[in-house]
A and B are shown apart, each in its own frame.
Chain A
Amino acid sequence: MKLAELEKKLLAAARNLPEDDRVPYGFEHRVMARLRERVAPEGWALWARWLWQAAVPCLALTVLLSALAVLSVDSTGVNNTSSLDEQFQNVVFAAIDYDSW
């Protein structure tokens, strides 16, 4: 079939294309300059990386505290989370609690 012949000829033409391995003058300096820029990370990038790294421990702490809160239900079935709530509230509002001044 002529179409197959056309395909064969085009692929042969592609194989005949000479390998073009020219390199622009001083290209290695361009790469090294870009590397130096990347190696010294920007302040914000560093800060963002730290935040991401802190995310997992924070999540783990949240899960741990939640578990503790759930487990704080004592064996008699009386839930003492209200006291935990109160304690938490006291801590949060301690700074603006005028009575304690």
Chain B
Amino acid sequence: MERQSEPASEITDAELIARVRNGDEASFEPLVRKYQARVFATARRYARREDEVADIVQEVFIKAYQKLNSFRGDAPFEHWLMRLAVRTCYDHLRRHQRSQESTFTELTTEENDWIERTLAAPESTRDDEEAAKTLVRKLLDMLSPPARLVITLLEIEGRSVKEIAALTGWSVSLVKVRAFRARAEMRRHLERLARDKYL
């Protein structure tokens, strides 16, 4: 017996994509609903303001819709979409690149206190303290776009160099070079911070 209407959850991604390709624009909505949470989580790693995050996610889905014909289907749709999301986030970082001269000037008392305690006796502080979380966000904001992307994917999300190459479209050797430079850049910021504190 033929079913008249199927619940969206029962239709596979491949079927939905085929329908969209055949001109059924509405079939794209279940795909958005299914993956929007993951894309929001990714976008929030690179943008802080909620309106920026929403704009990034919207751009990701619009690009996905426009480029759907280039999706070959040899990997899950989610992987293809996340690649698009990471690249869109990187474009966003490059568009909103902050000045390289930015420093840790606006630190709160708690953040200053956490740094001083960590530099004096690292074992006395915990990395789950609120001050550490806000500090690391500020540190990431100060990094250049490629450095921020590599540090986020490699050190925070724990992805391999090969995975990062696939996500970003960079070669494996370029990822390694950028990872090396990103660590050096981060260390430079931290050295400056330590110097400011003790000089």
How would you classify the secondary structure of chain B's contact residues: helix, strand, loop or mixed?
A: helix
A96: interface (CB < 8 Å): no
Contact B61 A31 (CB under 8 A): yes
Interface residues of A in 28-82 (CB under 8 A from B): 28, 30-32, 34-36, 38-39
User: Does B161 sit at the interface, judged by CB under 8 A?
Assistant: no
Note all chain B residues with C-beta closer than 8 A to A22: 37, 40
Known: A11-B156, A27-B57. A17 touches B38 (CB 8 A): no
CB contact between B118 and one of A6, A14, A30, A35 (< 8 Å): that residue: A6
Minimum distance in angstroms from A50 CB to a CB of chain B: 19
Given the known A-B contacts A24-B54, A36-B25, are A16 and B41 also in contact in the complex, defined by CB atoms under 8 Å? no
| Whole-angstrom CA separation of A7 from B61 in the bound complex | 35
* B14 sits at the interface (CB 8 A): no
CA gap between A24 and B56 in the complex, in Å: 13
Q: Are B40 and A14 in contact (CB under 8 A)?
A: no
Report which A residues bind B (CB closer than 8 A).
2-3, 5-7, 9-17, 19-24, 27-28, 30-32, 34-36, 38-39
User: 11 pairs across A/B with beta carbons < 8 Å?
Assistant: A2-B120, A3-B187, A5-B122, A14-B136, A16-B133, A20-B44, A28-B32, A28-B33, A28-B36, A35-B28, A38-B66
Given contacts A6-B122, A13-B128, 10 further A-B contacts (CB under 8 A): A6-B190, A9-B122, A13-B135, A13-B136, A20-B40, A21-B38, A21-B40, A30-B54, A31-B58, A39-B25
